Amino acid sequence: MCTVKANVLSKILVTLGALNWGLVGMFKFDLVSALFGKNSAGTRLIYTLVGMAAIYLLIIARSQHRSAMREHGEGGPHEAGSQKGVPQ
């Protein structure tokens, strides 16, 4: 699967998961369970996919953050001579 498709699918899954949790929090209504059955294999599959999508997006965001930091010369503590909290 190409990266663009994976990113879009992950964003959709995480958004739907967040909306479902919003429904649970505000109205005590679990849309996923209503559609696929409480504790069914389908419900567990959807929750698993949402969780995996969230982990994927976290990894992508971390990678993009590190790339941006390197581009701007803000590599962090691994840069030569820089130590956090130590005056130079």
pLDDT in tens, 63-87: 888 888 888 776 555 555 555 555 5
79 in helix, strand or coil? coil
At 7 the pLDDT is 94
Residue 86 covered by a domain: no
Residue 76 covered by a domain: no
At 17 the pLDDT is 97
At 69 the pLDDT is 86
Residue 82 covered by a domain: no
Residue 84 covered by a domain: no
What domain count does the chain have? Answer: 1
At 35 the pLDDT is 96
Distance CA 49, CA 51 (A): 5
Show the domain range for 38.
3-71
Cα 4 off chain centre by: 15
Question: Which parts of the chain register pLDDT below 50?
Answer: none
